[in-house]
Amino acid sequence: MKISTRGRYGLYFMLALARSYGEHKRSVKSIADERGISDLYLEQIVTNLKRAELVKSTRGAYGGYELNHAPDEITVGKIFRTLEENIVAVEGDDKDTDTERYLWGRIRDALRDVLDHTTLLDMVNHDDDEIDDYMFYI
């Protein structure tokens, strides 16, 4: 499975909003600058998050974006399903045996379980020191 930049940047954006939840609103530009990514590209992603009612925006001097729900109510699965065309752990084909389909189904279910049971709050509260590398291979 590979998550696109669209999914990753959307998750970065949502995590930034979760970290400031209840304190202040954030601009797309400030989050894009923190991550070193294009604010124009991030704005396109945020449009989809807003359409899915995951974020809301306020105009004006004290405006910006904020989460539309508490961080413990928004799952990573909801974010990825909003931004990714398809989340596929393994693409099976018509030559797969029942045994192989069983394995692919278990992998799909495990992935779905992780995505649907990991909230933004879980991620914000996670100790970053436990992660040695950002690239994970099996």
pLDDT tens digits, 95-119: 889 888 899 889 889 999 999 999 9
CA proximity to 77, closest of 138, 122, 21, 131: 122
pLDDT on residue 7: 93
Express each pLDDT in 46-56 by its tens digit: 999 999 999 99
Structural domains in the chain, sorted by start: 5-130 (1.10.10.10)
